[in-house]
Structure 1
Amino acid sequence: MTHIQTIIEELTATVMGKAFVMRLMHMGLDAYVVGETVTANLREGDLLIVGSGSGETKTLIPIVEKAQQLGGTVAVVTINPTSTLALLADLVVKLPGVPKEQTALADETVQPMGSLFEQTMLLFYDALILQIMEDKQLDSQTMYGKHANLE
């Protein structure tokens, strides 16, 4: 795998995906957010990570299909493992949450819209980062070497 790319369905989830990509970059991995001007082309063997609570975001379906045509592997992070995107994916990660179009269900969460999914997505991504750090024998101090320094 040469590149890792992410595409997320909505603004708040995009922030979670961008935070994940930033940490991957801090580890020296080639990671991009789809749609940004500096995103590399997806090649055979690359990983596309799609975050979609509903798994039914119509604009993401052709992107997933194109990634697979190019030989990429697709992972979908969603609350709906039987959704269109999940069924297209090579790997599905199911996270807890309530679809944003539903009102909050008292027995699941009191948070509005997609908040639970978005927060859980950030925790999931952080857990992945910690695992990759362990696998690559990295620590935060080492990763600061790739942190922005023009601030």
Structure 2
Amino acid sequence: MTDKQLAAKAIAELGAVLEAAVPDQISAMAAPILNAKRIAVYGVGREGLMMKSLAMRLFHLGLDAHVVGEMTTPPIGDGDLLIVSAGPGQFSTVSALIGVAKAAGAATLCVTATPQGAAPQSVDHVVYLQAQTMADDQGGGASVLPMGSLYEAAQFLFFEMVILQLRDQMALSSDAMRANHTNLE
């Protein structure tokens, strides 16, 4: 396969994931975010990096968003939202954090490629991105992208689409978002 063919296949796979998720899953994620007083996000590995990018964009919207594990993350409770990523449907740390958030009275949302998994089955809201993760990257029909890259790439673009919907619902301008961007770069 040539580089051009490889790129076309990767783009087609990513497009199929996003097409399946739009618009229902965008609304499914945007609504709990709009209803939250405070938002905490968490994911492991590269999924965690995508969750950090989501937290940054939520902050750019002016929302009270934090990354679990950072020293400045406040406690969550009633009226707050924990958003986790569990592409393959289960990670022990994700399940533990869901338990802590629920015990504190926070709402919970799981972004996943495996909605029948233990983590998504235990939360209040599920966002389903139908994409290959590292847990199912072998055998026929596997993505051209390695391991869980299709899921992670889909997360990034999907989260940006959620941010655009939130921006519109909050009646914010691009300039208002930009005003929240750091000047310490």
Matching residue's letter, 1:32: H
Name the one with the larger helix percent. Answer: 2
Structure 1 residues 138, 106: closer, same or farther in 2, change over 3 A? farther
Q: Is the Cα–Cα contact under 8 Å of residues 133 and 150 in structure 2 kept in the other structure?
A: no
- Structure 2 unmatched ranges of 5 or more: 1-35
Structure 1 residue ranges (4+ consecutive) displaced by more than 4 angstroms after TM superposition = none
Matching residue's letter, 2:176: T
Q: What is residue 41 of structure 2 aligned with on the other side?
A: 6
Q: Is the Cα–Cα contact under 8 Å of residues 98 and 116 in structure 1 kept in the other structure?
A: yes
Alignment of 1:1-151 (within 5 A): 1-10=36-45, 12-151=46-185
Matching residue's letter, 1:4: I
Aligned-residue offset at 1:106? 4.8
Matching residue's letter, 1:148: T
Cα distance in 2 for residues equivalent to 1:70 and 1:101:
31
RMSD over aligned CA atoms reads 1.3
Aligned-residue offset at 1:144? 1.2
What number of residue pairs does the alignment pair up? 150
- Structure 1 unmatched ranges of 5 or more: none
State which structure, 1 or 2, has the greater radius of gyration over its C-alpha atoms.
2
Q: Is the Cα–Cα contact under 8 Å of residues 96 and 116 in structure 1 kept in the other structure?
A: no
Q: Is the Cα–Cα contact under 8 Å of residues 16 and 121 in structure 1 kept in the other structure?
A: yes
Cα distance in 2 for residues equivalent to 1:89 and 1:22:
23
Q: Is the Cα–Cα contact under 8 Å of residues 104 and 110 in structure 1 kept in the other structure?
A: no
CA displacement 1:104-137 (0-9 Å, x = unmatched): 4553511111101101111111111001100111
Q: What is the percentage of aligned positions where both structures have the same residue? A: 35
